[in-house]
Chain A
Amino acid sequence: MNGPLKRAALACLLMFGLLMINVNYLQAVRAEDLRDDSRNTRNFYARYEVERGRITAGDKVLAESFDTGDSEFRFQRRYPEDKVYAPITGFFAPESERDMERAENSLLDGSSADLLIRRSIDLFTAKQTKGANVDLTINPRAQEAAYKALGESGKKGALVAIEPKTGAILAMVSIPTYDPNLLSKPNKDDVNKAYKKLDEDEDKPLVNRAIERTYPPGSTFKVVTTAAYLESDDTVGPETQVDAPQRLDLPGTTADLPNYGGAACGAGRVTLSFALEKSCNTPFGKIAMDLGYDALSEQALKFGIGGDPIEIPLPVVGSGIGPEEDQAALAQASIGQRSNQMTPLQMAMIAAGIANNGVVMKPYLVNRIADAEGGEVERADPDELSTAMSEDSARKLQEMMVNVVNKGTASAAQIPGVTVGGKTGTAETAEGRDPHAWFISFAPAEDPKVAVALIVESGSAGSDASGGQTAAPIAKSVMEAVLGR
């Protein structure tokens, strides 16, 4: 019987061999797929096993994990400042995360390759690995001032403040907003319910208006048209005389372009500076038609409009002046109407670029990332996006924007003892709907510390909302906060 016994032994060996091969296949080859399968609830538990890093702005903690002692959901996330920073921090939900929580997820949860050394040290010292801490560029005083000024009056809108010389984002507010604490509990049902409610809200509190939505920029866009004009010819300056008819005939159409409220602009021929101060429409329509679509879109591109998508590292939707159509469309685009669509961040970049003598810096939100022991992993390195205009042209434009605040439509943005430059905008939306109120500004003009762009959405500030009356005072309070006044 030994013969068949040996063959039976061989069969047993074969069976164990098959089992071993299969186990190897499952745990070495297919493991990754099985781990990542959305039905594998372990991913859900794993989210609460690591102490995620903090998100801070200066000494203010915006997001942190705390130890509940619960073995299943040990580390949970909380946001001490709840609504104020929600559009920046985002939230950490059971099955997803958003905004900064998402953009820096691998560093926050410690899985990034950049933390490999830290993890190895932790392994040897038997320490629980903690995620890295992310420090933002946000200036809490500016952020809170903006949140207060924009939010308390019940207005809807968004504000972005940038440090012109670096591109660091000092404030980013979107209102209405939400409480990220509600979306970060480890209870899927609760979170889904809360999320659904927010998602179905007509006011769209989950949308970060500063970077995820575009609006017609209205008259604030005139600074771009002006920049294109200044760049087209060295001799052009604030005192250059431009045509300013009461109505500008739009070739090829029966319509024409009036000034705001159909008003006259000076005596039909005014200085460029005056046209900007009073925000006349006709001179800029005329300038744009003379320069042509290419000149305007090239100038726009230099400010980052229509270029490669920006990440700060939150993804920013694209802005654009619209496709090339006829002269009439061009004239309308030059004053920020028609298919001209901008994110508030984009408008802040324009203001900052002008303030920074024509150099547009890449905007960014992350100042520094350090591992749990304080070792630096990453530090922001300010980077030029482009040179939008020559220093000479930039100085001329700054001078004109200072005039807008001192003598023109933006007098509400004046700060005693500080030279402020700005431009108002009152953008028409649809026929019969209230306009958006815009304001872009920078201060101080001679050594810019802050540039602000702000939109108050249509309808949220009454039917007579205007950049000068509605938006400028809010921007002023943010600039004061940054300047420490």
Chain B
Amino acid sequence: MSTPSAEPVLLPAKRRVAQLAMLAFAVAIVMLAYANVGLAIDNQIPAGMLTYGLGLGGLMLAAYLVLAKFAPWADPLILPLVTLVNGIGLVMIYRLEASGMPGASATTQLLWTAVGVVMFSATLIVLRDHRALQRLTYTMGAIGLVLLVSPLLPFIGHSENGANIWLKIAGFTFQPAEFTKLALVIFFAGYLVAKRDVLALAGRRLLFIDLPRARDLGPVLITWGLSLGVLILQKDLGSSLLIFGTFIAMLYIATQRTSWVLIGILLFVGGAVLAGLLFDHVAARFEVFLDPENPALYDREFGGSYQLMQGLFAMGQGGVLGTGLGQGHPDEIPLAFSDFIFTAAGEELGLTGLMALLMVYALLVERGLRTSIAAREPFSKLLAGGLSFILAWQVFIIVGGVTNLIPLTGLVTPFMSQGGSALLANWILIALLVRMSDTARKPPPQAIQDEGMTQVFQR
């Protein structure tokens, strides 16, 4: 029998009080932002502020209680970070609606936030052990594919702004691609974990690249190829880029093969060139990316740079400190409440605000990846890694797009852009991360020493 070590064992703390304080802080920032908008636009505190404040505060308190009960060891930072971004998004939409922007609706978004929190809680309550998802690998793959092709189906498929990516059921429009992403990441994680040894080791060597056997990679490749094909048919460039990149990243994490990244980049460049040659709208996006200020492109009616430039003008106007909430003209940007919400925030919150916002996203991703590293078995590692990466990659694609760092493809800004499907899917994504961080940070069962021969496990 060994004697217990004199040094205390360093265990992860629950930090529940700290989380509550951070959550309250996030809600307070959002409420102050609300007040700010009201004062700037109407010279008074907005009438609905109490409703919104209590609504958001109540929602987050509920999420907190569920989390404290069902995932007490979860990373304390994740929920407050999401709350802050979701809240800032709400304020921006409220502000755009107040200046009469058609389509912007803060009430709807708050409602969807509520549903999102419900989904978050439900996921935590129902999914006590996320490893159950591993058993659903192929089911998830199938669900992902069905959701993906659903907008192409007759009757329920619905097209808006040239992209055929909606479902319309009983008056509700719904974007299944958001859920496809989740399902596919789960599918990729399950499949790659099962096959990662063969993928990494078996196969032929072609030049300097180790190619896996086709039958090992087949199902993933087919799923992946199908999703790209369908998304291209639907002209949803953002989602295809998102799924492509996430797949490559997960493949790399699973197999540790740098060659996969190289193959991915080569395939991507080849695919992009091909798409540019085949599809006018892809070529147009690229032209706009290279020279957005060109007056000819600016005035072009379809696929012109008008929207991008309006976003850049907004950011220029914001400068370092921003115009202040309610004091700029973000309503000049088409779709400022969805794809271009980041630039709308750039005008009124300035460089300062955008840096803070990017920091919050980066922190969120970092907490996710930390969960992944702390996770004890491969499926959790890969799933948490994949979910964190898809979040970072999505922010990069849309923010890079609207700030002309990369060609604009169009995606939602997670938790900020108006839209129910994306909000729901992302709240579920966060629930999965929280569930996994709870498992990862939970102290391992301790052997109770000096109790005779029987070891009692305690949780």
Besides A1-B256, A12-B365, 7 other CB < 8 A contacts? A5-B385, A8-B385, A26-B312, A27-B318, A30-B316, A31-B318, A71-B99
Asked whether A123 is an interface residue with its Cβ less than 8 Å from the other chain, the reply is: no
A433 and B381 alpha carbons, distance in the complex (Å)? 96
A132 and B312 alpha carbons, distance in the complex (Å)? 32
- A9 neighbours in B (Cβ, 8 Å): 366, 369
- B293 neighbours in A (Cβ, 8 Å): 37
Known: A12-B388, A16-B358, A31-B316. A41 touches B329 (CB 8 A): yes
A26 and B317 alpha carbons, distance in the complex (Å)? 10
Asked whether A45 is an interface residue with its Cβ less than 8 Å from the other chain, the reply is: yes
CB distance from B322 to the nearest CB of A (A): 9
A328 and B369 alpha carbons, distance in the complex (Å)? 95
Asked whether B78 is an interface residue with its Cβ less than 8 Å from the other chain, the reply is: no
Asked whether B313 is an interface residue with its Cβ less than 8 Å from the other chain, the reply is: yes
Asked whether B403 is an interface residue with its Cβ less than 8 Å from the other chain, the reply is: yes
- A37 neighbours in B (Cβ, 8 Å): 293, 309, 313, 316
**CB contact list, A6-29 vs B, under 8 A:** 6-9, 11-13, 15-16, 18-20, 22-24, 26-28
Asked whether A431 is an interface residue with its Cβ less than 8 Å from the other chain, the reply is: no
Asked whether A35 is an interface residue with its Cβ less than 8 Å from the other chain, the reply is: yes
CB distance from A17 to the nearest CB of B (A): 9
Asked whether A484 is an interface residue with its Cβ less than 8 Å from the other chain, the reply is: no
- B372 neighbours in A (Cβ, 8 Å): 5
Most chain B beta carbons < 10 A, residue from A16, A19, A24: A19
Q: Indicate which residue in B298, B350, B400 contacts A39 across the interface (CB closer than 8 Å).
A: B298
Q: Which chain B residue lies CB-closest to A27?
A: B351
Q: Please tell me if the beta carbons of B317 and A1 are within 8 angstroms of each other in the complex.
A: no
- A4 neighbours in B (Cβ, 8 Å): 252-253, 256
Known: A27-B346, A42-B332. A19 touches B403 (CB 8 A): yes
A39 and B311 alpha carbons, distance in the complex (Å)? 12
Asked whether A2 is an interface residue with its Cβ less than 8 Å from the other chain, the reply is: yes
A5 and B388 alpha carbons, distance in the complex (Å)? 11
Q: Please tell me if the beta carbons of A33 and B369 are within 8 angstroms of each other in the complex.
A: no
A159 and B346 alpha carbons, distance in the complex (Å)? 53
Q: Indicate which residue in B309, B358, B373, B385 contacts A23 across the interface (CB closer than 8 Å).
A: B358
Interface size on A, as a range, is: 35 or more
CB distance from B451 to the nearest CB of A (A): 35
Most chain B beta carbons < 10 A, residue from A5, A13, A31: A5
Q: Please tell me if the beta carbons of A19 and B399 are within 8 angstroms of each other in the complex.
A: yes
Known: A1-B254, A23-B358, A26-B315. A41 touches B369 (CB 8 A): no
Can you pick out 15 interface pairs between chain A and chain B where the beta carbons lie within 8 Å of each other? A1-B381, A5-B373, A8-B249, A8-B253, A12-B362, A19-B358, A26-B316, A28-B319, A30-B316, A34-B312, A34-B317, A39-B298, A40-B316, A42-B328, A45-B329
Asked whether B395 is an interface residue with its Cβ less than 8 Å from the other chain, the reply is: yes
Asked whether B147 is an interface residue with its Cβ less than 8 Å from the other chain, the reply is: no
Asked whether B52 is an interface residue with its Cβ less than 8 Å from the other chain, the reply is: no
Q: Please tell me if the beta carbons of B358 and A20 are within 8 angstroms of each other in the complex.
A: yes
- A71 neighbours in B (Cβ, 8 Å): 41, 99
A439 and B95 alpha carbons, distance in the complex (Å)? 63
List of 9 A-B pairs having minimum Cβ-Cβ separation, nearest first: A34-B316, A27-B351, A12-B392, A40-B313, A15-B396, A16-B362, A22-B405, A31-B316, A9-B369
Q: Indicate which residue in B319, B320, B400 contacts A19 across the interface (CB closer than 8 Å).
A: B400
- B389 neighbours in A (Cβ, 8 Å): 8, 12
CB distance from A44 to the nearest CB of B (A): 9
CB distance from B421 to the nearest CB of A (A): 24
Contact string against A for B residues 247-261, beta-carbon threshold 8 Å, 1 for contact and 0 otherwise? 001001110100000
Q: Indicate which residue in A6, A11, A18 contacts B373 across the interface (CB closer than 8 Å).
A: A6
Asked whether B282 is an interface residue with its Cβ less than 8 Å from the other chain, the reply is: no
Q: How many A-B residue pairs have CB under 8 A?
A: 134
Asked whether A374 is an interface residue with its Cβ less than 8 Å from the other chain, the reply is: no
Known: A19-B400, A27-B346, A34-B312. A40 touches B317 (CB 8 A): yes
Asked whether A3 is an interface residue with its Cβ less than 8 Å from the other chain, the reply is: yes
Q: Indicate which residue in B256, B329, B396 contacts A42 across the interface (CB closer than 8 Å).
A: B329
- B355 neighbours in A (Cβ, 8 Å): 20, 23-24
- A39 neighbours in B (Cβ, 8 Å): 298, 309, 313
Asked whether B140 is an interface residue with its Cβ less than 8 Å from the other chain, the reply is: no
Asked whether B393 is an interface residue with its Cβ less than 8 Å from the other chain, the reply is: yes
Q: Which chain A residue lies CB-closest to B196?
A: A1
Q: Please tell me if the beta carbons of B346 and A15 are within 8 angstroms of each other in the complex.
A: no
Q: Please tell me if the beta carbons of A13 and B362 are within 8 angstroms of each other in the complex.
A: yes
Asked whether B46 is an interface residue with its Cβ less than 8 Å from the other chain, the reply is: no
Q: Which chain A residue lies CB-closest to B357?
A: A23
CB distance from B361 to the nearest CB of A (A): 7
A298 and B369 alpha carbons, distance in the complex (Å)? 84
Known: A3-B256, A12-B365, A22-B405. A34 touches B315 (CB 8 A): yes
- B388 neighbours in A (Cβ, 8 Å): 12
**CB contact list, A33-70 vs B, under 8 A:** 33-35, 37, 39-42, 45
A45 and B105 alpha carbons, distance in the complex (Å)? 24
CB distance from A433 to the nearest CB of B (A): 45
A4 and B369 alpha carbons, distance in the complex (Å)? 11
Contact string against A for B residues 39-60, beta-carbon threshold 8 Å, 1 for contact and 0 otherwise? 0010000000000000000000
- A1 neighbours in B (Cβ, 8 Å): 253-254, 256, 378, 381-382, 385
Q: Please tell me if the beta carbons of A23 and B403 are within 8 angstroms of each other in the complex.
A: yes
Known: A16-B362, A19-B358. A28 touches B351 (CB 8 A): yes
CB distance from B45 to the nearest CB of A (A): 16
Q: Which chain A residue lies CB-closest to B354?
A: A23
